[in-house]
Amino acid sequence: MRTGITHLAIPGPTNVPEAVRQAMNVPMQDMRAPDFGDLTIGLFSDLRRVFKTANGTVILYPGSGTAAWEAAMMNTLNPGDRVLMCRKGQFSMLWARMAEQLGLEVELVDVPWGAGTPVSEFARILGNDAEGRIKAVFVTHNETATGVTSDVAAIRAVMDDVYHEALLFVDGVSSIASIDFRMDEWRVDLAVTGSQKGLMLPAGLGILAVSEKAMAASRRATLPRAYFRFEDMTAVNGDGYFPYTPPTQLFHGLRKSLDRLFEEGLENVFARHRRLAEGVRRAVHAWGYDLVAEHCKIYSDTVSAIRVPPEVDARDVIRGAYVNYNTSLGTGLGPLAGKVFRIGHLGDLNEVMCLAAISAAEMALVDAGATIDLGSGVAAAQCWYRESRQVRQVAL
């Protein structure tokens, strides 16, 4: 029997705050009731604040981030359209595979797992595409498999430099609501996320924000779609009624999680993630280990992917942490299996929760044959959390 809590130190699903869990504990209600819009309409306007878009259309699909990926492509592109994508980790790889499966012609740029989206290579390819054959450019904002954040603003800038009119798609599944994301400023056309990461909810919502340009493209696009048709979903923004049965409990949770995000302040949420992430990174460096991310400029503030030395199998570390120390660490995906474990540091968490994850990882590492000093990573993170803390006024 397990006692106490099992620590969730994976990059999603993330911890659901108790208040959000309670908010979802409501009786079933009528999705056609005259007051149903009181619950749903506000969610769309508040999600626009999270995406930082004034006029984007927000769409909520019962589904996950992968559903939103598919919806974004099927609604706005045509069979055989050429799209520019970069493969730099498991999730960007899967998105590219889906594009191929849907009949798109993918111009694929492969970079090492640990690199960001290569801005100069994208600039070169787009610069050579004066006739505009490329219809869409894809960026995985935060590659969850490698802990790398890419520079979406820089990709927008290179598109502008060569007057490229492709649609800009961004996977923000592990960034939106945790790392700064600016849909309007970066003129993102399709931004994708899911409910189970920065929004601190169970999985079950695939969330899209769609620009006016992408909406116009959807009226011309010819890839087949049915369940995911934008046309069926856009009216919901206005009247709050869904074309098919919506996950009402998740909406109650979303209401509460949005309230919490705004109460903390989005910029404070981003700063908290940055600070918590830095503690984890200091622990990793105290162990003498490297992150998968190639450079400190692209370190992710929501997940750290940590390389273990060759004599250690990261799978043993992950298994040991779970079995012996009640802590779930993220696994190494694809070619990183056995070589990497991940610590997720996003959503509803604080310093001591990160310290718990670091502590469990240390014990499991030593059990798996690593020669680090127990407590070295914890101490490095503790020093950072103390040194960077803000003195809070506590009402007694």
Instruction: Please enumerate, by residue number, every residue annotated as part of a binding site for substrate.
Output: 342
User: For ligand PLP, which is the closer residue by CB, 119 or 203?
Assistant: 203
If binding is defined by CB under 6 A, does position 144 make contact with ligand PLP? yes
- Beta carbon of residue 60, minimum distance to ligand PLP (angstroms, whole number): 13
Residue 66 CB neighbour total at 10 angstroms = 16
If binding is defined by CB under 6 A, does position 234 make contact with ligand PLP? no
Q: Is 120 helix (H, G, I), strand (E, B) or coil?
A: helix
Among the listed residues 17, 56, 65, 247, the single contact to ligand PLP using CB under 6 A: 65
- The token duo for 35 is 């007051």
Task: Establish whether the linkage from the previous residue to 13 is cis, with ω within 30° of 0.
Answer: yes
Binding span for ligand PLP by CB under 6 A among 20-28, 60-68, 117-125, 150-158? 60-68
Among the listed residues 15, 75, 76, 140, the single contact to ligand PLP using CB under 6 A: 140
Question: CA of 31: how far to CAs of 59, 64, 99, 251, in Å?
Answer: 17, 21, 34, 11
Beta strands 82-87; 105-110: pairing state: parallel
Q: What is the largest CA-CA distance in the chain?
A: 67
Binding mask 145-174 for ligand PLP (x = CB under 6 A): --------------------------x-xx
User: For ligand PLP, which is the closer residue by CB, 167 or 381?
Assistant: 167
- Beta carbon of residue 113, minimum distance to ligand PLP (angstroms, whole number): 13
**Buried b / exposed e along 193-217 (16+ C-beta atoms within 10 A):** bbbbbbbbbbebbbbbbbbeebbeb
- Beta carbon of residue 347, minimum distance to ligand PLP (angstroms, whole number): 13
CA contacts within 13 A on the Cβ side of 292: 33
If binding is defined by CB under 6 A, does position 278 make contact with ligand PLP? no
| CB closest to ligand PLP, residue no | 65
Q: Is 342 helix (H, G, I), strand (E, B) or coil?
A: strand
Binding mask 200-219 for ligand PLP (x = CB under 6 A): ---x----------------
User: For ligand PLP, which is the closer residue by CB, 20 or 312?
Assistant: 20
Cα angle 89-177-57, degrees, rounded to a multiple of 5: 95
- Beta carbon of residue 142, minimum distance to ligand PLP (angstroms, whole number): 6
Contact 302, 273 (CB under 8 A): yes
Among the listed residues 17, 114, 194, 330, the single contact to ligand PLP using CB under 6 A: 194
Binding span for ligand PLP by CB under 6 A among 19-27, 105-113, 138-146, 162-170? 138-146
If binding is defined by CB under 6 A, does position 64 make contact with ligand PLP? yes
Report the C-alpha gap between 87 and 91 in whole angstroms. Answer: 8
Contact 58, 207 (CB under 8 A): yes
Binding mask 85-124 for ligand PLP (x = CB under 6 A): ------x---------------------------------
Among residues 148, 147, 154, 150, which one has the least CA distance to residue 139?
150
By CB under 6 A, name the binding residues for ligand PLP: 12, 64-66, 91, 140, 142, 144, 171, 173-174, 194, 203
